[in-house]
Chain A
Amino acid sequence: MAVIRTVDLHKIYDEDTVPVHALNGVSLAVEEGEFTAIVGPSGSGKTTLLNMIGGLDKPSRGSVFIDEQDITSYSDNQLIDFRLKHIGFVFQAYNLIPVLTAYENVEFIMLLQKRPKEERRVRAMELLRAVGLEEKTEKRPTELSGGQQQRVAVARALASKPRFVLADEPTANLDSKSTAGLLDLMQELNQNENATFIFSTHDQRVIDRARRVLTLEDGKIVSDETRQG
């Protein structure tokens, strides 16, 4: 059964001035544990779709169902709570909290979830070890390379044990080596944690690893390709 379902999703920016149709009736269903890439040219609506699924933005029309719950009817506070409990985000520009160390960045989301201190410590260390940064726990983002920061971001995204990880062009600022390492890591976490991964990407290296590739153009899904893994 689909854990994520969008129905006739529309998003129109600047409706009152010059309307821009970022999404034009997107309907899709994602099964639990999928490793899906959303691809398409710039402006095709990839990030907008991810934002809708993640409850960061509300559609102009249509619905997003998570476990058959329509999250588009949620209030702002309900959406924040929903994201905290169910979604892990990885952003293109890492978006770590600059005043916190790598360890604190990973721990932070568990603090928001009011997890016990020992559980936070064990989980944060486990994830930082998994992303190969056990030696860098006390470093702040500015002391880490782009690849290392993105690894911390992945660790943070998984710290809350989310059911879904939404990654918006996670490899856009990374070199080939860092990209390969990050993709290995995410695939491993997808298998071990059974988290559902959805990427928006231009990156062929990411597309090659995805088990399902959705192609968007002008806010519409133009192809949906599932591969044998």
Chain B
Amino acid sequence: MIRKIAWRNIWRNRTRSLVIIASVVMGLWAGIFVIALSRGMVDQRKEKMINEQLSHIQLHTPGFKEKQKLADFIPGAAQILDSLRNMPGIKAVSGRSIINGMLSAPGGGSGVQIIGIDPGAENRLTGLEKKVVEGTYFPDGKNRILIGRALADKLGLHIGSKVVLTFLDTSSNILAGAFRISGLISTGDIRLDKVRVYARSDELQRVLGTSRPFIHEIALLLENDEEVPFYRAQLKERYPRLMVEAWYDLSPELRYLNEMMDVFLYIFMGIIMLALAFGLVNTMLMAVLERSRELGMLMAIGMNKRRLFLMIVSETVMLALTGAVIGMVLAYFSILIASHRGIDLSMVEQGMESFGISAVLYPSADIAYYPGIALMVIVFSVISAIYPARKALKLNPSEAIRKI
């Protein structure tokens, strides 16, 4: 009966209740949607980073990442690559030569990172071919390279332009090779597009004058990204002399960002709920003051303080939860629609791409968030009910009944 009275009391002043319910709806909807947008942004960035740059796991020789020396290649890389290709649960593997050098062209020169790849394997791993925005992905013919569009724009290069790649061999001799640009790529990360040059690894070997594959990095993608820790441990055991690192070792800030999102969700929702709590306190305080005669009567006929407190708390919780349920349903469906259609922010595309985020955002909110948010609403509404309820409990029944 207390719940029934509390529920009906909410609708006694319909306008006032609808106003507070609407603010809870809007607060929660906006809060969850912004969180979902941020979560989507982080997820997209993580997915993009894993699928296009980091992969799930990378193998290097110890020390390569610090100095990036040509001589720090992975011994027996060809056998390791074969073995990994045959390992169940691994979707794609690619070996890369990574050489820091110089790209020279008639329009000027620029420091670059030359990535020697097997075009087929790399495409399976990172979908590099899809990033070709102009030209062709390693067509037939010798010494073809791909460069970032940003680099091409900077040096005034175009498809078919001849460039010279210069770098040092293991004995610090300067080596150079002439290459022709077959394609321009746009990875979505302008920073990378300004420095990356992709060439066939066998053609780089020719420039180096060696038949040994200079593989500095082996990157692999798993069928299931939840198995990363397991494969990381397995590969560490199998290749104890190599550095085996998962994406979260390679990019701790990405891992941190990923983990922070959950904390951020609750902090952000907490701030919204705190603001809404003031509205709830105000509404319930008005309700208590307006109904003091009735509350006095309830105490007079035998409703004890515990029940009276419970009634006011129930009323507050119901008021907030009504708004919360509508807000969460609204958020769920608007996120569902936006996650399929995407939110096009191409107006600020360049700025976003420089952070490695696509211009179309896909919000994402785990369904597991909703019970947590509902619990927060309940906790905040109970807290909001305390002050008005205390006011009610302090009423003197005989005085309250006489109030007009």
Contact = CB atoms under 8 A, between A and B. Distances in A.
Interface string A49-73: 0010010110000000000000000
Interface in A61-112: 76-77, 80-81, 83-85, 87, 89, 91, 93, 95, 97-100, 104, 107-109, 111-112
Contacts of A108: 1
A148 interface: no
Contact of B303 (A85, A87, A91, A112): A112
A83 B305 contact: no
A94 B266 CA distance: 48
A156 interface: yes
B396 A57 contact: yes
A57 B398 contact: yes
A95 B299 contact: no
Contacts of B294: 95, 97-98
Nearest to B1: A111
Contacts of B297: 89, 91, 95, 97
Given A91-B401, A99-B12, A77 B5 contact: no
A91 B305 CA distance: 21
B310 to A, nearest CB: 12
Given A57-B398, A95-B401, A104 B300 contact: no
Interface residues of B, number: 23
A44 interface: no
A84 B12 contact: no
B298 interface: yes
Interface residues of A, number: 30
Interface string B300-326: 111111010000000000000000000
B9 interface: yes
A98 B305 CA distance: 20
Given A97-B5, A111-B1, A83 B302 contact: yes
A81 B305 CA distance: 10
Contacts of A95: 293-294, 297, 401
A81 B9 contact: no
B301 A89 contact: yes
A5 B31 CA distance: 63
B398 A51 contact: yes
A24 interface: no
Contacts of A107: 1
B8 interface: yes
B interface: dominant SS: helix
A196 interface: no
Choose among A87, A89, A113 the residue with the greatest number of B CB atoms under 10 Å from its CB: A89
A104 B7 CA distance: 15
B252 to A, nearest CB: 58
Contact of B1 (A91, A98, A104): A104
Contacts of B293: 93, 95
B304 A81 contact: yes
A160 interface: yes
Nearest to B404: A93
Contacts of B302: 80-81, 83-85, 87, 109, 112-113, 160
A76 B307 contact: no
B301 A83 contact: yes
A54 B297 CA distance: 12
A91 B296 CA distance: 12
Interface string B376-404: 00000000000000000000111001100
Contacts of B8: 99-100
Interface string B12-35: 100000000000000000000000
A47 B9 CA distance: 29
Given A77-B304, A81-B302, A100-B8, 16 more contacts: A57-B397, A57-B398, A77-B305, A80-B303, A83-B300, A84-B303, A84-B304, A87-B302, A91-B401, A95-B294, A97-B5, A99-B5, A107-B1, A109-B302, A111-B1, A112-B301
22 contacts: A56-B300, A56-B397, A56-B401, A57-B397, A77-B304, A77-B305, A80-B299, A80-B303, A80-B304, A83-B301, A87-B302, A91-B297, A95-B294, A95-B297, A97-B294, A97-B297, A97-B298, A99-B8, A100-B4, A100-B5, A104-B4, A107-B1
Interface of B: 1, 4-5, 8-9, 12, 293-294, 297-305, 307, 396-398, 401-402
Closest 4 pairs (CB-CB, A-B): A84-B302, A99-B8, A56-B398, A95-B297
